[in-house]
Structure 1
Amino acid sequence: MLEIVATEDLKAAAQFTFNNMKPYYEIYAVDWDVEDIHQATKDLKNFDILCKGEHIGVVRLSFEEGRCQLRDIQIAAAYQNKGYGAHVIAKVVDIARQQSIKFIDLKVFQRSPAFKLYSRIGFAVDRKDVRFYYMSLQV
């Protein structure tokens, strides 16, 4: 059973994100550390992803101009490619619907395997730049 619960330890969530994103930071020369991530995410809606009570990831949202921004989904490597990301997105869609939000937006590194997940679920590429795809989903 997958649960999304409010994050209690934002520093631990930042460390989890740093560990998960380190390869992308190296590829794209992003000079961030755990404190940078903590500062960038502390004002977002932070949730821990639990599977049978075990912490397997984090998800972060913000709400701006009537849209939900899916700011971050991080899932531990051992749990990737097992459908958990799709379940998390379904829960985010539920949150958006509960708040009468019509669109979910995100950006994803072009090299990220998550791009395929987002596309499969129905997110469309609105634009791209050198590093990112900017995508949206109508809910």
Structure 2
Amino acid sequence: MGTWDVGPFDNDTAADFCGGLDDAAAEEREGLVRAAFTSVIDTEGYLDACEAEAAVAAAALVAAQCPGGDPAYSAYAPGEPLPDLTGLREPAVRAVDRVVTEPSELLELWEESDAAPWHAVIRGLRSALLSSATG
């Protein structure tokens, strides 16, 4: 696992996902974010870490546009403008919930180390997504 830290953009897959958003035409970016969620939500069996990492990064991009969400400040976050993604809060929450539900490779990998900081990041994302959805 090419993980550097606990942040949503702190792994190779997230950096590649964000680079793909930058490379995509502006009108395709929302669809790519939605696809990252759909891929994870539709997985009934074992969830691959790469899919989960992309979904967490995508959720962080949505949360960054929500009140109370942390800005997507990272050298690996997209540099190109993103459309309004706040309409994707519900699938973002569903995807994050799936990432932390067994069977999930990313969850297993974090549970093998000190998972508390990573879980705190996930709770923060979820909180920002939910508070804006209900507020």
TM above 0.5 = no
Indicate the structure (1 or 2) with the bigger Cα radius of gyration. 1
Structure ranking higher on relative contact order (CA contacts 8 Å, 6+ apart): 2
- Structure 2 length normalisation: TM-score? 0.28
Larger helix percent? 2
Larger strand percent? 1
- Structure 1 length normalisation: TM-score? 0.28
